[in-house]
Amino acid sequence: MDSVILFCQQLVNGISLGSIYALIALGYTMVYGIVKLINFAHGDIMMMGAYAGYFVLIAMGPTPVGFCAAMIFAMIFSAMLGISIERLAYRPLRNAPRLNSLITAIAVELILQNLMRVLPFVGPNPRQVPQIKIPQLNIGNLSISGISLFVVFASAILMVVLNHIVNYTKTGKAMRSVSYDMQASSLMGINVNKTIATTFAIGSLLAGAAGLLYATAYPQVDPMMGYMPGLKAFVAAVLGGIGSIPGAMLGGIILGIAETMVKGYGPSAYADAISFSLLIVILLIRPTGIMGKKTVVKV
């Protein structure tokens, strides 16, 4: 019976971690879908969102109200950061070879990380995040961490809202259209610049939320905290099919569960290596990912 309980707990943890990866992965996948850019800086937007939320929590205390304020602030801050980065670093390079944008994305990542290390009120050392108290859920012998459940719940809401925006609003339609064909979309009267900015805003907003949720679940913030989750979320996006929104959600959850299971039952030190190996295997067998579409290149 104990092993079943342990398994359920690990599963919930996995889904919780996976939801965070999913939120970050969504940003990667939306940006890639629309401008074909791997935004390496995305993981660090998550980090900035975490810090933004952290400062609000410090100011307002770890109460439900404080937390909501922190969340809202984190999301808005991240969205604006995403829009600024797009405007300053990526838009000038939109027509340049893809390699240049990729390099710029890497540069932005380095700037964000090192900026935080250098800023006097931040600094390279990790900080403890004030924890809000969420009671555990007890079902018989099974006790599930309240925080994990909260993370899953919050992520789910965000994903439902995103799904609605993408599939049922005009903005979403514009986003999908630009991701299919930028030129044709602009000829149809869609403001491409605005649509791309919106995409970055939404993706960054989700990353910021993910950052604060991550800081709640693993209560530390430091300037490098976005690096690994960023990479892993990227793996998740590719796993699910880069460019596919449901794929990012699915990929994130799968990766979160896989990683937690490996850490729980397997050689935990190799968890990272296993995540990357999973990525490589998927790319070799089915490069477009679980939900991606195969494109045939015309010769």
Partner 1 sequence: MNKKILKSYLVPGITALACVIIPAVLIKFNFLSAYTAGILNQCAIYAMMALSVNIICGITGQLSLGQAGFMAIGAYSTILLNQMLHIPVPVAIILAALISAVFGFLIGFPTLKLEGDYLAIVTLGFGEIIRVVLTNLKDITGGPNGKSFNTLLTFLELPKFLIFTSALIILIILIQNFIRSSYGRAILAVRDDEVAANANGISVFRYKMIGFVVASFIAGLGGAFYIWHMGFVKPEQASFAKSIDFLIFVVLGGMGSVTGSVLSAYVLTILQEGLRFLKDFRLLFYPVILIIVMIFRPQGLLGTNEFEFKKINEYRNSIKKFFENLFSKFKKGGNK
Q: Which stretch binds partner 1 (CB under 8 A): 67-75, 188-196, 257-265, 273-281?
A: 273-281
Q: Which stretch binds partner 1 (CB under 8 A): 45-53, 63-71, 94-102, 147-155?
A: 94-102
User: What is the smallest separation between the CB atom of 53 and partner 1, expressed in angstroms?
Assistant: 24
Q: Which of 280, 269, 272 is nearest to 232 (CA)?
A: 272
Q: Which stretch binds partner 1 (CB under 8 A): 165-173, 200-208, 246-254, 270-278?
A: 270-278
Q: Tokens for 136, please give them.
A: 């555990």
User: What is the smallest separation between the CB atom of 292 and partner 1, expressed in angstroms?
Assistant: 11
| Closer residue to partner 1 in complex, CB, 205/258 | 258
- Cα(291)–Cα(5) distance, integer angstroms: 32
Give backbone dihedrals phi and psi of 65, rounded to 5 degrees, phi first. -65, -45
Binding of residue 296 to partner 1 (CB under 8 A):
no
- Angle at 175 (CA atoms; ends 232, 237), nearest 5 degrees: 15
Q: Which of 109, 120, 118, 130 is nearest to 59 (CA)?
A: 130
Q: In the window 204-223, what residues touch partner 1 (CB under 8 A)?
A: none
Q: In the window 229-248, what residues touch partner 1 (CB under 8 A)?
A: 231, 234-235, 238
Q: Which stretch binds partner 1 (CB under 8 A): 95-103, 137-145, 174-182, 246-254?
A: 95-103
Q: In the window 119-148, what residues touch partner 1 (CB under 8 A)?
A: 124
| Closer residue to partner 1 in complex, CB, 198/244 | 244
- Cα(13)–Cα(256) distance, integer angstroms: 8
The one among 23, 26, 108, 249 contacting partner 1 by CB under 8 A = 108
- Cα(212)–Cα(2) distance, integer angstroms: 32
Dihedral of CA 133/156/242/282: which sign?
A: positive
- Angle at 229 (CA atoms; ends 223, 230), nearest 5 degrees: 85
The one among 110, 160, 161, 188 contacting partner 1 by CB under 8 A = 110
Cβ(243)–Cβ(29) below 8 Å: yes
Binding of residue 7 to partner 1 (CB under 8 A):
no
- Cα(162)–Cα(254) distance, integer angstroms: 20
Q: Which of 264, 160, 212 is nearest to 24 (CA)?
A: 212
Binding of residue 92 to partner 1 (CB under 8 A):
yes
**Chain residues in the site for partner 1 (CB under 8 A):** 36, 38, 89, 92-93, 96-100, 102-104, 106-111, 114-115, 117-118, 124, 231, 234-235, 238, 267, 269-270, 272-273, 276-277, 279-280, 283-284, 287, 299
